[in-house]
Amino acid sequence: MNCVRFERSQGLPKELQLQIDLPTSKSISNRALILHALSGGSIYPDNLSDCDDTQVMIRALTEENPVIDIHAAGTAMRFLTAYYSVTPGEHILTGTERMKQRPIRLLVDALRSLGADISYTEQEGYPPLLIRGGNFAGREAEKKCSGQSAETNDSEITLAGNVSSQYISALLMIGPSLPKGLTLHLTGELISVPYIHLTLQLMKAYGAVAQWNDKRTLRVEPGRYRDVPFKVESDWSAASYWYEVMALWNQEFPDAPAPSILLKGLQPHSAQGDSRGAELFAKLGVHTAFTDEGVRLTKLGTPVARMVENLVDIPDLAQTFVVTCCLMGIPFRFTGLQTLKIKETDRIKALQQELHKLGFVVKDEQDSILSWNGERCPADTCPSIATYDDHRMAMSFAPAILCAAHLGIEGLVIEHPEVVRKSYPSFWNDFRFVPFKE
């Protein structure tokens, strides 16, 4: 089995002084690629992520292949479903076996209501999809010729706000391509709102007129995207694992320099929702200072005794905070995790199973809440952490080796470490500072 193996060392080094070149944002890269393609322009986005998910998008948008295999890239599945719906041609969109188990009916139904021609090739409600694109304007003309009212606003749809924000972003980005633009009404609880804000910001950068009409209504005017230069910034999601390292670092030598990690390329006031992680890590004793180069992390203050947070807007940081709090011995209750069950794996179940190997009994409620009250169980001697084809499982558990002595374990194994290629291909190279034998 392919794995990364760490062995417990006899002692920690005196100091932690790192500079990390973070990967660029996968979320921004994938949106910029779709917007560039819809613009029909020639100015390619700069500083794109080199992760698997973005490379899948690049191949899909540049290679003339009727069958598009996006592997495990959920973002690509959602964004390309909408993109191919407004793009002339016929495509089959497929992926891994896990991808074929991830529901997509809500997005398909919304696109069909707008005039898209999409059918399921295997299981109703799930990929693979057969998409015959580019017929929206033609269908509008057909309605007028058949005597149907030209005033019918079939660009107005309603969607539950508690679904994946990627559905909403996928619809918003094709809005300018629709004959009447798009009015999107969101009902119920709204989740992952920062990702919607991010999409709107990038759309505006490419010349679209898109905004919130009110707290539950989004409006995109018909028109064309502009061909503009665009540079992708570094990834706040990837930064979270270095925040975790700093939070877990135990300074054993009082005469050593204060621990410091410089994360290059991060920007203040970022539209990335996961930048909020800095605020939450402050409660765990990690201080964030912005510099001309990026962000410098240091230890400052006393961690909270208990952490209670709603992570509905930053679900991709759930694994980082759950693992970090357990390893720091900080009881927690995290709500707003309803989307975790439909990610690369069922992340709620995966976290419970793998933390049990480290000696922690984590509870779940209503498929949307994870909590830990301090309950422990015997840890495995050398835990082997399954990653479930999920990049965030690998990266959030790797820093646990810093706590080997505290946990009473002899080492740590991360199974299928290659999964980090999905968002952070250089993670293991960057993680080489860890003073343990691989």
* SS3 label, residue 76: helix
Q: Active site residue: 274, 316, 389, 390, which one? A: 316
Among 297, 296, 375, residue whose Cα is nearest residue 331: 375
Angle at the Cα of 58 (from 233 to 44), degrees rounded to 5?
A: 55
Among 377, 431, 386, residue whose Cα is nearest residue 413: 386
Paired tokens of 111: 């696109």
* DSSP string across 104-144: -HHHHHHHHHHT-EEEESSSTTSS-EEEEES-HHHHHHHHH
C-alpha–C-alpha distance, residues 346 and 63, integer Å: 32
Among 295, 322, 314, residue whose Cα is nearest residue 239: 295
**What b/e sequence results for 390-409 when a residue is b if at least 16 CB atoms lie within 10 Å of its CB, and e otherwise?**
bbbbbbbbbbbbbbbeebeb
Residue 128, preceding bond cis, omega within 30 degrees? yes
Paired tokens of 57: 């998008």
Give the type of residue at 25: S
Helix (H) or strand (E) holding 83: helix 74-85
Which alpha helices (DSSP H) does 175-313 contain, by range? 193-205, 236-248, 277-282
Length of the chain: 438
Domains and CATH numbers, the chain: 3-23+234-433 (3.65.10.10), 26-220 (3.65.10.10)
* SS3 label, residue 67: strand
Residue-by-residue pLDDT tens, the chain, 438 positions? 689 888 876 555 667 899 999 999 999 999 999 999 999 999 999 999 999 999 999 999 998 889 999 998 889 999 999 999 999 999 999 999 989 999 999 999 999 999 999 999 999 999 999 999 987 654 443 443 333 333 334 689 999 988 888 999 999 999 999 999 999 999 998 888 999 999 999 999 999 999 999 999 999 999 999 999 999 999 999 999 999 999 999 866 566 788 999 999 998 999 999 999 999 999 999 999 999 999 999 999 899 999 999 999 999 999 999 999 999 999 999 999 998 887 778 999 999 999 999 999 999 999 999 999 999 999 999 999 999 999 999 999 999 999 998 899 999 999 999 999 999 999 999 998 755 544
Paired tokens of 163: 């679904």
For the question of residue 117 being annotated catalytic, the response is no
Among 159, 179, 180, residue whose Cα is nearest residue 170: 159
**pTM attached to this predicted model:** 0.86
